Amino acid sequence: MNERALARVDLAAVERNCARLRRALSGGSELCAVVKADGYGHGALRCAGAALAGGATRLAVATAREAAELREAHPQAAVLTMGALSAEEVDVALAAGSDIAAWRAESLALIADRAREAGRAARVHVKHDSGMGRLGNPDPEQVLALAASAAADPDLELAGIWTHLATADEPGGFLATQLEAFAAVASVARERHPGVLLHAANSAATLAEPASHYDMVRCGIAVYGLDPFGEDSGARELEPALSLHSYVADVKRFEPGDSAGYGRTWRAPERTWVGVLPIGYGDGVRRGLSNNADVLVGGRRRPLVGTVSMDNVTVDLGPETDVSPGDPAVLIGSQGGERISAEELGARLGTINYEVTCGISARVPREYG
């Protein structure tokens, strides 16, 4: 280890995951790789290139700044900015040549004005809120009216009509309710606007519901080999691309009652050895993992004991150990025959794998292979 903490990202795994997702598509649907939030913590620019090599034909982000950074790295890529934009951010997104989401007449007018000033038409995707309850227009007639306005405006180009699914990763009927609502809009839009790009599916819907595929799917978490259902990614032929590494900086002998970390939340029940790793919540190892996780050292699971601090964690190595300072440690990934997944950490934290990888901080270098 040349670093106290290091995230290794396997770009070939990203490429293979995209190829696997492409194989799941029906009816000629395209794959849009979502690389927002710095590629879910994996590194947007490098992962975008791997996704395109794996068969993605489009990229999506949430913010105008993300679109600008992506455009600089991938000048020929088709990009969609999905989030809400201020007037200034609309300018940034348009300068980046990004498609833009819209769901109100006022936003269409703003985009048209900015496009006119920029001297080229803006490509817009009108968003239908079919049940997510966030951004988007819930009124089907208004969605179709906005699409007609965009198609008729010389400063706009109607590029797409889309929605986002709230429960594709859960069993139950609401996914069907949303798809039924969107289908009513999509069928009319198809007649009135031939060639418009219809899209609804996220990673979970892509893998679970072919009826959601339409003309394009927007896959995020699955691109990085993580399971959108929070289960076993390997069972869905996905390969986790990221592993998180540190090393044992010190090994200390503990007597019964000796404590590790702030608050003395763990005390040795017997004589044992404790390893100190120079990684902590400043790097994205959540404090909620205090006394609530394992770390791989020497190919074995070792309990994370004591409170996670900003820059260090401690692990119980047992009453006898052959672990020495400098030995490698793995917090996410495999070592020997053991594996710790982002899904496991998410379950321990009561959250999702998305938050685990997105939470790996910028001070952790990414190494690409």
pLDDT at residue 27, as a whole number: 86
Helices in the chain by DSSP H: which ranges? 11-24, 36-40, 44-53, 64-73, 87-95, 105-118, 140-152, 174-192, 203-208, 342-349, 353-358
Which domains are delineated in the chain?
11-236 (3.20.20.10), 242-340 (2.40.37.10)
- Amino acid at residue number 247: Y
Does residue 224 carry a catalytic annotation? Answer: no
Asked whether the whole model's pTM tops 0.85, one would answer yes
Please state, as a whole number, how many other Cβ atoms lie within 10 Å of the Cβ of residue 291. 15
Which of the four pLDDT bands, split at 50, 70 and 90, describes residue 363? very high
Per-residue confidence (pLDDT) for residue 274, from 0 to 100 = 98
252 is catalytic: no
CB 150 within 8 Å of CB 122: no
Q: 3-state DSSP call for residue 291?
A: coil
Active-site residue, from 36, 214, 281, 354? 36
Q: Using an 8 Å Cβ cutoff, are 32 and 217 in contact?
A: yes
| pLDDT value of position 2 | 86
Q: Which of 234, 314, 307 is nearest to 275 (CA)?
A: 314
* 258-282: average pLDDT: 98
First and final C-alpha spacing in the chain: 15
Find the mean pLDDT for residues 228-256.
Answer: 97
Quickly state the pLDDT bin for 296 (edges 50, 70, 90).
very high
Share of the chain above pLDDT 90, in %: 98
Neighbours of 97 (CB within 10 A): 17
Mean pLDDT score, 120-139: 98
Query: What is the pLDDT, as a whole number, of residue 13?
Result: 98
pLDDT in tens, 212-241: 999 999 999 999 999 999 999 999 999 999
Rounded Cα distance between 131 and 152, Å, is 28
pLDDT at 157: 98
Local confidence band at 292 (pLDDT 50, 70, 90 cut-offs): very high
pLDDT band at residue 184 using 50, 70 and 90 as cut-offs: very high
Task: Provide the pLDDT for residue 8.
Answer: 98
pLDDT at 55: 98
- Sequence-distant (6+) residues with CB within 8 A of 151 are 158, 192, 193
**Which pLDDT belongs to residue 210?**
96
pLDDT above 90: residue 63: yes
Predicted local distance difference test score (pLDDT) of residue 179: 97
Calculate mean pLDDT across residues 247-262: 98
Confidence of residue 248 (pLDDT cuts 50, 70, 90): very high
How is residue 196 written in tokens?
């418009």
For the stretch 91-101, pLDDT in tens is 999 999 999 99
Q: Which string of DSSP letters, residue by residue, matches 196-251?
A: PEEE---HHHHHH-GGG-TTEEEESGGGGT--TTSS-GGGGT----EEEEEE--EE
Region 293-311: what's the mean pLDDT? 98
pLDDT score recorded for residue 171:
73
Q: What pLDDT, on a 0 to 100 scale, did the predictor assign at position 305?
A: 98
Query: What pLDDT shows up at residue 178?
Result: 97
* Mean of pLDDT values over 131-151: 98
Residue of 40, 214, 224, 262 marked active site: 262
CA distance 47 to 250: 35
Q: Is the pLDDT of residue 111 over 90?
A: yes
